[in-house]
Amino acid sequence: MKSYQYKETLLFTIIGIASAIVCTGYARLFAFAEHSSLVFYQHNPLLSFLMAPAAMLLSFLLVWFLAPGAAGSGIPQVLACIEVREENLLKKFLRKSVISVKIISSLIGVFAGAAVGREGPSLQISAAIAYNAGKFSERFGIRMRLEQLLVAGAAGGLSAAFNTPIGGVVFAIEELSKEHVRNFRDVLLLSVIIAGLGAQLINGHYLFLGYPEVAKDYSFWALGLIVLCSLISGIAGGLFSKILFRVIRWRAGKKLLTQLAIVATAGLIFAATFYYLGERNLYSGKESINVVLFGTGTLPWYEVFTRFFMPLLSSMTGIAGGVFAPALSAGAVIGGTLAELLDPSLMVILGFAGMVGFLTGVTHTPITSFILVLEMSDRHGVVFPMMIAALCSSIGAHMISHQSFYEETVEEIKRKLKLSQGIPSEEDKLKKD
- Largest distance between two CA atoms of the chain: 66
b vs e for 257-291, b when ≥16 Cβ sit within 10 Å of the residue's Cβ? eebbebbbebbebbbebbeeeeebbbbbbbbbbbb
For residue 5, pLDDT beyond 70: no
Helix, strand, coil abundance in the chain, percent, nearest 5: 80, 0, 20
By CB atoms closer than 10 A (0-12, 13-18, 19+), residue 41 is buried
Report how far residue 87's alpha carbon sits from residue 90's, in angstroms, rounded to the nearest whole number: 5
d(CA 70, CA 98): 5
pLDDT at 426 over 80: no
Q: What is the DSSP letter of 226?
A: H
Asked if the model's pLDDT at residue 430 lies above 50, the reply is no
Tell whether the torsion through CA atoms of 157, 158, 160 and 164 is positive or negative: negative
pLDDT at 433 > cutoff 60: no
Is 432 inside a domain boundary?
no
Looking at 203, 236, 254, which one is the last position of a domain?
203
Q: pLDDT class for 1, splitting at 50, 70, 90?
A: very low
Residue 423 inside a domain? The answer is: no
Q: Is residue 362 part of a domain?
A: yes
The residue with greater pLDDT, 370 or 275, is 275
Residues 59 and 175 in one domain: yes
Q: 375-395: buried (b, 16+ CB within 10 Å) or exposed (e) per residue?
A: bbbebeebeebbbbbbbbbbb
Same domain, 371 and 323: yes
* Helical spans, DSSP H, in 116-219: 119-137, 146-162, 165-171, 185-203
- Residue 419 belongs to some domain of the structure: no
Residue 425 located in a structural domain: no
The mean pLDDT of 244-255, rounded to a whole number, is: 93
Residue 315 CB neighbour total at 10 angstroms: 29
Q: Do residues 225 and 189 share a domain?
A: no
Task: Tell me if 19 sits within 8 A of 195, measured CB to CB.
Answer: yes
118 and 267 assigned to the same domain: no
For residue 259, being part of any structural domain is answered with yes
Judge if 145 and 281 occupy the same domain.
Answer: no
Give the three-state DSSP class for 359.
helix
Mean pLDDT (whole number) for 158-162:
76
- In the prediction, which pLDDT does 428 show? 53
Could you tell me if residue 79 is inside a domain?
yes
Q: Is-contact 190 13, C-beta < 8 A?
A: yes
Percent above pLDDT 90 for the chain: 49
Domains identified in the chain, total number: 2
Residue range 311-349, pLDDT digits in tens? 999 999 999 998 888 999 999 999 999 999 999 989 999
329 and 405 inside one domain: yes
If asked whether residues 40 and 189 sit together in one domain, one would say yes
193 in the same domain as 310: no
Residue 205, pLDDT score: 61
| Predicted confidence band of residue 179 (pLDDT cuts 50, 70, 90) | low
Average pLDDT over the chain reads: 85
Q: Decide which of 178, 203, 228 is a domain's last residue.
A: 203
* Number of residues written out for the chain: 433
Condensed to tens digits (0 to 9), the pLDDT of residues 251-302 reads: 999 999 999 999 999 999 999 999 999 888 999 888 999 999 888 778 898 9
Cα–Cα distance measured from residue 39 to residue 61, given in angstroms and rounded to the nearest whole number: 25
Q: Which of 145, 174, 203 is the last residue of a domain?
A: 203
When pLDDT is averaged across residues 75-100 and rounded to a whole number, the result is 90
Residues 242, 334 within the same domain:
yes
User: What are the pLDDT digits (tens) for 117-135?
Assistant: 988 899 999 999 999 998 8
Q: What is the pLDDT of residue 372?
A: 84
Range of the domain at 106: 2-203
SS3 of residue 66 by DSSP: helix
Give the CATH number of the domain where residue 129 resides.
1.10.3080.10
Examine the domain organization and report whether 28 and 102 are in the same domain. Answer: yes
Burial class, 216, CB count within 10 angstroms (exposed 0-12 / middle 13-18 / buried 19+)? exposed
* Residue with more model confidence, 87 or 98: 98
Angle between helix 119-137 and 87-94 (nearest 10): 120
Q: Do 378 and 271 fall within a single domain?
A: yes
Q: What per-residue confidence (pLDDT) applies to 431? A: 53
Q: What is the Cα–Cα distance from 374 to 389, expressed in whole angstroms? A: 12
Euclidean distance between CA atoms 85 and 77, whole angstroms: 11
Whether residues 24 and 90 fall in one domain: yes
Is 420 a domain residue? no
169 vs 295, residue with greater confidence: 295
Q: Cα–Cα distances in Å, from 147 out to 19, 152, 408?
A: 17, 8, 20
